[in-house]
Homo-oligomer: A and B are copies of this chain.
């Protein structure tokens, strides 16, 4: 069986560095530290001021990049990308950074986020004679640049970005420039730092700064374009201002707890979510256990607030491959057992509170609950450190469709029955926002909980056909 996670998937991590003797090596380390944001493919493009050098492959950062590959990626500026595919099929051709040659010279691009009008633009461009190389949304940005009559690259980039809508934290590398841009709503994070040797660094999360000994300076702001070349660094705001719509799911689930994003500690917010949950959804019980590892911090918050002891009642395997060979004699809850095992000692005869950070389809949760019940739990109370997820995301997170989201089609009572728990409760929308109250960055996007989408989107379901029938070995 192919192992499927019941968690939403982040689409990617981006990393960029300007003016470092070991640009490729630092990019490799930065990407390694952000592997949790995309495990499908990775790539690095460097420049020595004349050419662009690229290497990308399917797989994990630590396996793809070897010493000789890093050595071949010469030059003192670089951008890198970890990909999990939200748009476009899962093939090497779709690995980022994209690199193309056009009348503007060579350009490379690493993109985190999703454009909502890329299929319209793509269809228009194809009608006009463009031939696309990939099936990912980001490619329209370079085609729009190639089509631009602007001969200045920055102008062409601004013109191009002026036509796309949606979420983009973007790094652009040319022989001259390293450019970092965040869309006007600022959906996805993008932090900026500085190394003691003067190198400027960009990354999706600050955990990439820790491993590269970079000091966190500030976020690239929503709508800001930071341009670096040999003349120095400039900050531009070329787009109309928009309402900040930072992705709150980054705090709830995606980002590493040791990162700072949107200018706040992920650990702090995540624990605060757990505390809020304990306040509004208390329960009498003997033990708190998280669904590891993503719910650990929220569970600690719940435990502290409630006084009920926290235990590691579920052990998670870290040796997981993509597929598993299931016996013909079906093993109950096989998919969950491959990943989790219950510590009987912890739950046997106990009233157990399970903390999870989100529930999508509910299938894995149900299996975990059954395993805990079979291990002898007397009562099981399920608590979710976020509101019910009712709508998909069009800005770069792979959340299932309405039809698949259990909270979109079922009441809390029905979900409780489906999960077979003694009680079930979610965080309320208000208390979730309380956990980020006073947040300097301002507004958040909570569309997956409310269906209030800050940027209108095209229903591209119908268009998102695979362009080609492709073979994995092909490229």
Which residues between 328 and 342 of chain A lie within 8 Å of chain B, taking CB atoms?
328-329, 331-332, 337-338, 341-342
* Most chain B Cβ neighbours within 10 Å, of A35, A126, A143, A210: A210
CB distance from A274 to the nearest CB of B (A): 12
Cα distance A467–B54 when bound, in Å?
Answer: 12
Count of this chain's copies in the oligomeric assembly: 4
In the assembled complex, the CB of A57 is this many whole angstroms from the nearest CB of chain B, namely 7
Q: Given A22-B327, A345-B265, A468-B106, verify A62-B320 contact (CB < 8 Å).
A: yes
- Is A310 engaged at the interface, CB distance under 8 Å to the other chain? yes
When the two chains form the complex, which single residue of B61, B131, B318 contacts A131, counting CB atoms closer than 8 Å?
A: B131
Q: Check B258 against A468 for contact (C-beta < 8 Å).
A: no
B319 contacts A32, CB within 8 Å?
Answer: yes
A113→B115 CA distance, assembly (Å): 41
Which of the candidate stretches A296-304, A376-384, A413-421, A433-441 sits at the interface with the other chain?
A: A296-304
0/1 string, A428-456, CB within 8 A of B gives 1: 00000000000000000000000000000
Q: How far is the CA of A265 from the CA of B342 in the complex (A)?
A: 12
Stretch at the interface among A63-71, A243-251, A391-399: A63-71
User: Are B341 and A101 touching (Cβ within 8 A)?
Assistant: no
Report whether B146 and A317 are in contact in the complex, using a CB–CB cutoff of 8 Å.
no
Q: What is the predominant secondary structure among interface residues of chain A facing chain B?
A: mixed
Tell whether, in the assembled complex, residue A473 and residue B207 are in contact, meaning their CB atoms are under 8 Å apart.
no
Residue A93 CB within 8 A of the other chain: yes
A312 within 8 A of B: yes
CA distance A211 to B92 in the complex (A): 34
CB <8 Å contact, A327 and B133: no
Complex CA–CA separation, A61 to B132 (angstroms): 28
Determine whether A154 belongs to the interface, using a CB cutoff of 8 Å to chain B.
Answer: no
A257 to B341, CA, bound (A): 10
> Which residue of chain B has its CB nearest to the CB of A126?
B103
Nearest CB on B from A334, distance (A): 9
A365 and B66 CA atoms in complex are apart in Å by: 28
Say yes or no: A325-B28 contact (C-beta < 8 A), given A101-B126, A473-B55.
Answer: yes
